[in-house]
Copies of this chain bind each other. A is one copy, B any other.
Amino acid sequence: MSLQSQQSTPDFPVVSINRDKLMEDIHYTAQWGEGERWGDSPTDIGMARLALSDSDKLVRDWFMEKVKSYGCNSHVDEMGNIFAIRPGKKEGLPTVMGSHLDTQPAGGRYDGILGVLAGVAALRAVHEAGIETEYPIGVVNWTNEEGARFPQCMMASGVWAGATDVAQVHQIADIDDPNAVVKSELARIGYLGSTPAHWTATPLAAHFELHIEQGPILETSSQCIGAVEGVQASKWFTITVTGRDSHTGATNFENRSDALLTSAKMILRSHQVATQFSSLASTGLLSLKPGSTNTVPGVVNFSLDLRSSEDRNIDEMEKILREDFEKIARDEDVASINAGCTRGRGCTVSWKVDSDAKVANFDKECIECIEKGSEALFGQKAASLTRRMYSGAGHDSVHTSTRVPTAMIFVPCKEGLTHNPAEYCSPEDCGNGAQVLLNAVMRYDMLRSVKARL
């Protein structure tokens, strides 16, 4: 994808992103919160910029100064969210580009950061081109998206959207220091603002978020822009299989209640069922008791993470798996999983629901603006280079989508690697993403103006 110039004649003003400056900003601001080195190049260093740390303060200070130089007025709310707004020709709500500047403790240079700095690059492009948008546009830095230091993901966008209560969230403590809570740390670094953290206090016209994919789909399909239609539903369970400890040498198969063999069949079955539904089922945690080479495990706990772009698939998969796991626990056959096995005495199975997030569906018009933005960049090739897709992971856009038109742009990241120092998005993909982001915002701004005239 070496298509760096605009290739068609779009119906909105096209302003080119300075791609070199964007990369400079990404690597310059990485000085605040440097993490683990993973390669030989000067930029082969990960990030450890935990929310509301000293390094988070420094990058916020840099951000405030930059956006001011591009003609923005900024305000900070009581969750430390920063709203940088550049006025347009007309009064009205701003169309914003939002993401987050905090990282995981062993994070990389792109997750969240790209979305905010691409917004900064977009403001720079508009400012330097001397363009006045129809309505205000802006950039938002949402506080503590990662939930790494203060354990609540998408924390401050959740407060803004009214999903969680500010007073309660203010008291969430640092996972390592019970005396450092969100509110005290906001005050300490000078980002405890006075504006209520609420969508009614800082209303927005629309929210666009550029983000690395955090998966391998775009890279594998040689595509470079994901027009994200929403975030998958996910439902998390802890499954407990209870059998009976027994001696591996002295207990024949017929007399076993093997909780691990039973769990292995369930994990396999969940994969089969998810395949049927073009959905996902995953087990990332598994623990067993008592844990000895010569003892058949009596108890196994494992996590089951079901995901789908349709809520009803989650419901149906859960229903089927609850029935099938009962049968598997009784050592009855399901889908030939018991073929060639010796039937034992069976186990029991119980389920606990750990979380249940419905599908977040993004705004159709915003998604189309992204596609048009990709067309403006890639011309005829846009159709093959762009794909509609669902996000598997949660983002601040999940919360904004409950209050304002929202969509996301994904760009490839190498091997899908993320939450890892070696997370990587090429300069080309960063630039493409930033350009599509700006194009989408310009088109949305134009459409609002057209609609207002109707």
A195 interface contact, C-beta 8 A: no
Counted per complex, copies of this chain come to 2
A391 interface contact, C-beta 8 A: yes
Complex contacts, A260 vs chain B, CB 8 Å: 267, 283-284, 286
A168 interface contact, C-beta 8 A: no
Residues of A251-305 at the interface with B, using a CB-CB cut-off of 8 Å, are: 251-255, 258, 260-261, 263-265, 267-268, 271-272, 274-276, 280, 282-286, 288, 291-297, 303, 305
A129 interface contact, C-beta 8 A: no
Complex contacts, A265 vs chain B, CB 8 Å: 264, 268
Given A286-B286, A340-B276, decide whether A271 and B252 contact each other with a Cβ distance below 8 A.
no
Interface size on A, residues (CB 8 A): 65
Residue among B276, B284, B296 making CB contact with A294, cutoff 8 Å: B284
On whether the beta carbons of B293 and A250 are closer than 8 Å, the reply is no
On whether the beta carbons of B286 and A249 are closer than 8 Å, the reply is no
Docked CA distance A392–B416 (Å): 47
Where chain A touches its partner, the secondary structure class is: mixed
A32 interface contact, C-beta 8 A: no
A181 interface contact, C-beta 8 A: no
Complex contacts, A392 vs chain B, CB 8 Å: 247-251
Residue among B286, B297, B342 making CB contact with A275, cutoff 8 Å: B342
Which of A216, A264, A276, A288 has the most chain B CB atoms inside 10 A of its CB? A264
On whether the beta carbons of B261 and A271 are closer than 8 Å, the reply is yes
On whether the beta carbons of A268 and B275 are closer than 8 Å, the reply is no
A residues neighboring B (CB under 8 Å) = 213-217, 220, 232, 234, 236, 244, 246-255, 258, 260-261, 263-265, 267-268, 271-272, 274-276, 280, 282-286, 288, 291-297, 303, 305, 307, 335-337, 339-342, 354, 391-393, 415-416, 418-419
